[in-house]
């Protein structure tokens, strides 16, 4: 029997994002975001789902906070809908939107739950999309204005800030897929990713200079440990390249104020990518983070058949399922050892930063309901294995300070709509009824004990 206990003051939380749960898409003066735009277009989101109502959290936040209280969580990571505050992206402020987050934050604090705020979880004001989105540097300035307002207005109560959620996904991936423009634009996606880093650094600077600068600020990256198929030189090269594309391209600018040379060379050759300006690098250097948020669900496996493959990302990613390994409803491999290896590697390569797991969780089947409880054994087992490995990483020196489960509620899973369920709490989208899952009951008990017993 192993007795797993987490450090004192460990943060245990759940995570959500504005567009995925709030609904009220056009209420109380909210402006349109790119997700409102894209979900209202036919043929993009599975089953034609939209976030118009989602979990109706905008009206039910008090009930949802009571669920969190029953879960025993001491922190809640949520994001702010930028167009709820600035309907046109900049300029005029929407007081009713500001009041919604005031109420949410105050209600959390009243219930002894620490608000951890993500400033940008993908719902860009549509007005800023229309001027070129993250490829246009004017958007950086609009973002910095928005963050300044946030720090000044909420910073007396919010002491943990996350500038961006998963830059890779909303730049390189979405631009590559042409999600908001209908046209693939990989080079633009990479340019956007470098602009986002500038926006991040400027927001960190704005925070340090705000009147409420006594909290902590960081960024959340989606990271995935890369495993080569064999120990051949070719496979090692493939793994290093994919690690550069998925991980180092985002980690190196944040921690080292530089971009990985191998990936810069690749982008230059393939897309005629321009050099990074010295000023941008200086900005990054002058504005280090206080903590890193890590979103991790799975690992990445790579394989190269011939040297020519080394320049083709899609050829190198090995999606073949491995016999005996488990996969989620989303098709993602369950890889607790990938989670451990990732944490230890970040710790070693990036000088032992404080880390929060800002997202981890599992898309489950959720098809058996007994006595009013969803029997999600798969999710419970997943969490147990990931928690064990988080604990092992802490024992091995990683400065892990907290863990946020994705997600509090089943919610709008982007292009997959409502077809994929990640919640600890089930949402019936017809009635908005919330139903506990077994994993939620287990998580509640883990938090109460600050750990658990396992074999």
Binding string, residues 410-449; x marks residues near ligand FCB by CB under 6 A: ---xx-------x---------------------------
Q: Tell the residue number behind the tokens 């409102």, with chain if given.
A: 36
CB of 208 to ligand FCB, least distance (A): 26
Nearer to ligand FCB, 303 or 380 (CB): 380
Residues 298/334, Cβ–Cβ less than 8 Å = yes
Q: What gap in Å lies between CA 95 and CA 234, rounded to an integer?
A: 57
DSSP-derived secondary structure for 404-451: EEE-SB----GGGGGGS---SEEEETTTTEEEEBHHHHHHHHHHHHTE
Told to check if 166 binds ligand FCB by CB under 6 A, we report yes
CB of 19 to ligand FCB, least distance (A): 9
Question: How many chain residues touch ligand FCB (CB under 6 A)?
Answer: 12
Cis peptide bond N-terminal to 407, omega within 30: yes
CB of 356 to ligand FCB, least distance (A): 14
Told to check if 123 binds ligand FCB by CB under 6 A, we report no
Q: Using CB under 6 A, which of 147, 165, 302, 375 touches ligand FCB?
A: 165
Q: What gap in Å lies between CA 259 and CA 276, rounded to an integer?
A: 8
The CB density around residue 41, as the number of other CB atoms within 10 Å, is: 12
Told to check if 17 binds ligand FCB by CB under 6 A, we report yes
- Region for 93 from its dihedrals, namely left if φ exceeds 0, alpha if ψ lies in -120 to 50, beta otherwise: beta
Nearer to ligand FCB, 228 or 402 (CB): 402
Q: Tell the residue number behind the tokens 């139903």, with chain if given.
A: 435
Return the residues of window 191-230 that contact ligand FCB according to CB under 6 A.
222
Q: Tell the residue number behind the tokens 């050099």, with chain if given.
A: 275
CB of 266 to ligand FCB, least distance (A): 24
Told to check if 94 binds ligand FCB by CB under 6 A, we report no
Distances (CA, A) of 84 to 23, 203, 219, 282: 11, 19, 22, 33
Nearer to ligand FCB, 165 or 193 (CB): 165
Q: What angle do CA 328, 412, 42 make, to 5 degrees?
A: 110
CB of 413 to ligand FCB, least distance (A): 5
Nearer to ligand FCB, 162 or 226 (CB): 162
Told to check if 78 binds ligand FCB by CB under 6 A, we report no
CB of 158 to ligand FCB, least distance (A): 19
Distances (CA, A) of 335 to 125, 359, 438, 442: 36, 15, 21, 20
- Pick the closest to residue 263 from 278, 276, 254 (CA basis): 276
Contact region with ligand FCB (CB under 6 A), list: 162-170, 315-323, 346-354, 430-438: 162-170
Return the residues of window 377-406 that contact ligand FCB according to CB under 6 A.
406
Told to check if 169 binds ligand FCB by CB under 6 A, we report yes
Q: What tokens were used for 243?
A: 């690690």
Return the residues of window 284-313 that contact ligand FCB according to CB under 6 A.
295
Told to check if 35 binds ligand FCB by CB under 6 A, we report no
Q: Using CB under 6 A, which of 22, 168, 252, 359 touches ligand FCB?
A: 359
Q: What gap in Å lies between CA 225 and CA 145, rounded to an integer?
A: 35
Q: What gap in Å lies between CA 109 and CA 105, rounded to an integer?
A: 6
| 166 carries an active-site annotation | yes
Nearer to ligand FCB, 94 or 118 (CB): 118
**Which residue of the set 32, 114, 166, 168 is catalytic?**
166
Nearer to ligand FCB, 259 or 404 (CB): 404
Q: What angle do CA 279, 243, 18 make, to 5 degrees?
A: 70
Q: What gap in Å lies between CA 343 and CA 276, rounded to an integer?
A: 28
| 308 carries an active-site annotation | no
Nearer to ligand FCB, 25 or 273 (CB): 25
Which positions are annotated as active-site residues? 166, 359
Give the interface with ligand FCB as residue ranges (CB under 6 A). 17, 20, 165-166, 169, 222, 295, 359, 406, 413-414, 422
């Amino acid at each position: 029997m192993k007795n797993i206990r987490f450090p004192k003051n460990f943060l245990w939380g759940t995570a959500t994002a504005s567009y995925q749960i709030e609904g009220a898409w056009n209420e109380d003066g909210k402006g349109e975001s790119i997700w409102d735009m894209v979900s209202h277009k036919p043929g993009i989101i599975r089953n034609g789902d939209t976030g118009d109502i989602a979990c109706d959290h905008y009206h039910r936040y008090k009930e949802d906070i009571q669920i969190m209280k029953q879960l025993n969580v001491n922190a809640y990571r949520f994001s702010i809908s930028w167009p709820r505050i600035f309907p046109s992206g900049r300029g005029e402020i929407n007081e009713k939107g500001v009041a919604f987050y005031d109420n949410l934050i105050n209600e959390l604090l009243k219930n002894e739950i620490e608000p951890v705020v993500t400033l940008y979880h993908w719902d860009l004001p549509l007005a800023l999309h229309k001027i070129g989105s993250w490829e246009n540097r004017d958007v950086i300035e609009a973002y910095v204005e928005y963050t300044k307002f946030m720090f000044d207005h909420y910073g007396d109560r919010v002491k943990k800030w996350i500038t961006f959620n998963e830059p890779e996904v909303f730049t390189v991936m979405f631009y590559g897929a042409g999600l908001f423009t209908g046209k693939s634009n990989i080079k633009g996606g990479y340019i956007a990713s470098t602009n986002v880093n500038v926006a991040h650094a400027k927001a960190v600077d704005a925070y340090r200079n705000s009147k409420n600068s006594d909290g902590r600020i960081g960024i959340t990256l989606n990271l995935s440990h890369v495993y080569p198929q064999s120990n051949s030189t070719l496979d090692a090269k493939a793994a290093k390249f994919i690690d550069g594309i998925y991980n180092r391209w985002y980690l190196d600018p944040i921690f080292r104020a530089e971009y990985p040379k191998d990936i810069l060379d690749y982008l230059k050759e393939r897309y005629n990518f321009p050099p990074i300006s010295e000023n941008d690098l200086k900005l990054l250097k002058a504005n280090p983070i206080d903590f890193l948020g890590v979103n991790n669900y799975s690992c990445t496996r790579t394989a190269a058949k011939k040297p020519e493959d080394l320049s083709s990302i899609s050829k190198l990613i090995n999606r073949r399922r491995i016999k005996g390994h488990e996969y989620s409803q989303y098709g993602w491999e369950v890889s607790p050892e990938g989670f451990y290896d990732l944490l230890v590697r970040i710790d070693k390569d990036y000088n032992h930063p404080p880390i929060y797991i800002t997202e981890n969780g599992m898309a489950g089947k959720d098809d058996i309901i007994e006595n009013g409880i969803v029997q999600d054994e798969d999710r419970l087992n997943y969490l147990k294995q990931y928690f064990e490995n988080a604990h092992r990483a802490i024992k091995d020196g990683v400065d892990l300070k907290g863990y946020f489960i994705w997600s509090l509620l089943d919610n709008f899973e982007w292009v997959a709509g409502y077809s994929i369920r990640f919640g600890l709490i089930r949402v019936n989208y017809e009635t908005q009824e919330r139903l506990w899952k077994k994993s939620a009951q287990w998580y509640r008990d883990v938090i109460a004990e600050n750990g658990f017993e396992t074999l």
